[in-house]
Amino acid sequence: MNKVFRDTYYLFIRGFKQSLRPYIALMPEFAVPIFFFVVNSAGFQRVSDLAEFKNYAGNYLEFYAPVALLMAIFFSTGSAGIEVVTDIANGYMDRLFVSPVHRISIVLGKLLATGARSMIQAAIMLAFVMLIGAPFEAGLLGVPILLALAFIFGMAWSGIGLTLAFLTKNPRIVQSSFVFFIPFSFITTSQLPLPLLSGWYKAAVMINPVTYVLEGMRALMLNGVGPETVGTIAVGFLAAALFGLVTLGAALFAFRRLSA
């Protein structure tokens, strides 16, 4: 067991450093969420005049701020699959397979590195939106809760790219997994509260697990931690965990096929 922990630790450090390079590639991961936050919080500001909206936030900037954090997590995990494909192409993965490194440590190291990146990126984005004027009612107590949710969901989301990387070993196919970001991020309550939605769109939003992750973050930021929000926050964690159970289960299955 100690060997598994040691192997996982070294692969985590290696995976985390790999995810940061080249440093210039980090710019879009911050620029895109900031762009959407600035443009949408300004462009949809009149929505806050609606009576139904006033039950959720004082203005649209406050309502949209959690979306910036969610998008930062999406973008921070997007490179995980590409990094694995690179390791397969340059022979590093084969060297790991013939080494005494425990197989589960290969996957755990990458997942923990991805989760750590998600936490850090969410923390930086939280600081940015608060600087612009977004509230964080949960206070210091809520910071580790929010970062834990970012950590779990970051690992869960990376499972899509990892599955495609292990199955196909093709960088173009892995890059195309970005298309999943569009429905999972936009068919949510990112633009409007659930009561203002209707029809098939509302139904799709309600079955999207990312909706509940977002609502958990929004509850922490706008209402804090209390009896009225603990259920929403818990559902957010549950949704992230169940989503991860599916995506990471698929990734482990694909990894076993690759390493067989």
- CA-nearest of 163, 160, 158, 126 to 142 is 126
How high is the mean pLDDT of the chain?
A: 92
pLDDT tens digit sequence for 6-36: 999 999 999 999 888 878 878 888 899 999 9
Find the domain containing 29 and state its range.
2-259
Structure confidence at residue 57 as a pLDDT band (50, 70, 90): confident
Given a cut of 90, is residue 2 above it in pLDDT?
no
Using the structure block, give the residue that is written with the tokens 């633009």: 191
Given a cut of 80, is residue 260 above it in pLDDT?
no
| pLDDT at residue number 42 | 87
The dihedral built from the CA positions of residue 195, 197, 202 and 208, taken in this order, carries a sign that is negative
| pLDDT at residue number 122 | 95
Given a cut of 90, is residue 142 above it in pLDDT?
yes
Given a cut of 90, is residue 53 above it in pLDDT?
no
Helices within the chain (DSSP H only): 2-20, 26-43, 60-77, 80-89, 92-98, 103-132, 139-168, 171-176, 181-186, 199-207, 209-223, 230-259
User: Which DSSP symbol is given to 45?
Assistant: G
Measured distance CA(84)–CA(90) in Å, rounded: 10
Given a cut of 90, is residue 153 above it in pLDDT?
yes
Cα Rg of the chain, angstroms: 19
Measured distance CA(120)–CA(97) in Å, rounded: 30
Structural domains counted in the chain? 1
Q: State what percent of residues in the chain have pLDDT above 70.
A: 100
| pLDDT at residue number 56 | 82
Given a cut of 70, is residue 232 above it in pLDDT?
yes
What is the average pLDDT across 114-137? Answer: 94
pTM over 0.75: yes
At a CB cut-off of 8 Å and minimum separation 6, what does 214 contact? 66, 67, 70, 188, 189, 190, 236
What is the average pLDDT across 152-181? Answer: 92
Q: Is the peptide bond before 22 cis (omega within 30 degrees of 0)?
A: yes
Q: If DSSP codes are grouped into helix, strand and coil, which group holds residue 49?
A: helix
CA atoms within 13 A on the CB side of 166: 24
Three-class secondary structure assignment of 116-185: HHHHHHHHHHHHHHHHHCCCCCCHHHHHHHHHHHHHHHHHHHHHHHHHHHHHHCCHHHHHHHHHHHHHHH
Given a cut of 80, is residue 1 above it in pLDDT?
no
Q: State what percent of residues in the chain have pLDDT above 90.
A: 71
| pLDDT at residue number 115 | 95
Tokens of 87: 């390791």
| pLDDT at residue number 77 | 86
| pLDDT at residue number 25 | 78
Quick check: 218 and 66 in contact, CB under 8 A? yes
| pLDDT at residue number 19 | 86
Give me the count of residues in the chain. 260
What is the average pLDDT across 156-165? Answer: 94
pLDDT tens digit sequence for 72-107: 999 888 888 999 999 999 999 999 998 989 889 999
